[in-house]
């Protein structure tokens, strides 16, 4: 069964609920790795900021705030904490000397890598317990999930169709 077949077999109304359910599931999976040594200050929001910076690269405060759907003043407070923890840094914006961009530090990159590795290890144990049919559905859905993650992280949620859905 492919992802399109699974969607067609879903009960009425399930498609409307899909974005919400997907968002909750993704957040639960993403934030499961917070537990661990040296991660007491790593909130889900800070983890998300690290992931965005790791994927999209340095950006202005306004762009980062827009990606996370928060006010610039809120993002500024989040970044202040992340800078104090050594996970992020403010750098001069080469395009505008009056502005700065926020980038991930080596320490921040190492932290996000550690969280990802812990999540992968934990998730590998769960995936190993899936049956063949569930594994096939997960394998078929993975390219779509990766494309959605890329769109969200890069702020390109334009509803573009993925190759599998075209």
CA distances (Å), origin 28, targets 21, 61, 164: 11, 26, 26
Average of per-residue pLDDT across 110-131:
88
Q: Is the pLDDT of residue 141 over 60?
A: yes
Distance CA 91, CA 1 (A): 49
Q: 3-8+24-153 in CATH: which number?
A: 1.10.10.10
**At 16, is the pLDDT very low, low, confident or very high (cuts 50, 70, 90)?**
confident
* Whole-structure pTM value: 0.63
Residue 137 confidence (pLDDT): 93
Hey, where are the domains in the chain? 3-8+24-153
pLDDT one-digit tens code per residue, 36-75: 555 768 888 898 899 999 999 999 999 999 999 999 999 9
**What local confidence, expressed as pLDDT, does residue 39 receive?**
72
Widest Cα–Cα separation across the chain = 56
* 158 phi, psi to nearest 5 deg: -95, 0
């Amino acid at each position: 069964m492919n992802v399109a077949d699974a969607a067609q077999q879903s009960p009425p109304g399930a498609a409307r609920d899909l974005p919400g359910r997907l968002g909750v599931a993704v957040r639960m999976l993403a934030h499961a790795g917070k537990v661990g040594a040296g991660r007491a200050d790593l909130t889900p929001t800070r983890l998300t900021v690290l992931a965005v910076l790791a994927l999209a690269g340095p950006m202005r405060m306004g762009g980062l705030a827009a990606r996370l759907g928060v006010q610039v003043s809120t993002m500024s407070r989040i970044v202040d904490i992340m800078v104090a923890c050594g996970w992020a840094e403010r750098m001069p914006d080469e395009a505008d000397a009056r502005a700065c961009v926020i980038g991930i530090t080596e320490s921040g990159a190492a932290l996000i890598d550690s969280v990802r590795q812990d999540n992968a290890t934990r998730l590998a144990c769960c995936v190993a317990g899936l049956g063949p049919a569930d594994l096939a559905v997960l394998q078929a859905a993975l390219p779509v999930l990766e494309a959605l993650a890329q769109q969200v992280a890069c702020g390109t949620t334009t509803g573009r169709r993925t190759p599998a859905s075209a």
